[in-house]
Chains A and B, each alone.
Chain A
Amino acid sequence: EAGVAQSPRYKIIEKRQSVAFWCNPISGHATLYWYQQILGQGPKLLIQFQNNGVVDDSQLPKDRFSAERLKGVDSTLKIQPAKLEDSAVYLCASSLTPMNTEAFFGQGTRLTVV
């Protein structure tokens, strides 16, 4: 079974630039999550999708972050414009159901904003 795929693995951008991350969940997984993990901290949920609808985006900084999940499969997370404090690993995860015990994580995208 293929895992959660994320790209790119690494990205370095200057502040005020924009960046996009892509996630392909495990086939058949209805629930998709984006987490932000800042160095030295645990992952923090940014947004949760159930199929192509948003379930929870209460911790997503909506003035600069946006996410979509077209057709309930792939998802993209965008930051525009980026700030220095956005430097982090962005993790995508998916699960068959909203029960997080079944969530499978991708390898993440490490973003460095300079």
Chain B
Amino acid sequence: DQQVKQNSPSLSVQEGRISILNCDYTNSMFDYFLWYKKYPAEGPTFLISISSIKDKNEDGRFTVFLNKSAKHLSLHIVPSQPGDSAVYFCAASGEYGNKLVFGAGTILRVKS
């Protein structure tokens, strides 16, 4: 039972353009959504999060959008840089961050 789905296994983007990574969820009880970034041979690193009471959160080049009615969130990276090439995991949890549920990840490749 996949409660968090990232349907695109990979995405390739030209340097300087926008990267859009998508994530869908099924559990309406999820209250908090997070994006993690993972480089090879390293552990995941927290990138950005959004509470269910918001529909947008921005941090520098990274913006997360939440559409609760569609149970969909997306991560926008503008402009994309080669150093952004990594695996991006979408994750969701109940209130106060209990028990993170991760998606399968999307491999982002930013070409220079």
* Chain A residues with a Cβ under 8 A of chain B: 4, 40-45, 48, 56, 91, 93, 98-108
28 of the cross-chain contacts (CB-CB < 8 Å) are A40-B104, A42-B4, A42-B6, A42-B89, A42-B91, A42-B102, A42-B104, A43-B89, A44-B102, A45-B99, A45-B100, A45-B101, A48-B99, A56-B98, A56-B99, A93-B43, A98-B97, A98-B98, A100-B32, A100-B34, A100-B100, A101-B34, A101-B46, A101-B49, A101-B97, A103-B100, A104-B46, A105-B44
Chain B facing A: main interface SS? mixed
Contacts of A102 in B (CB 8 A): 46
B106 to chain A, nearest CB (A): 10
Docked complex Cα distance between A101 and B49 (Å) = 7
A103–B102 CB distance below 8 A: no
Docked complex Cα distance between A40 and B6 (Å) = 11
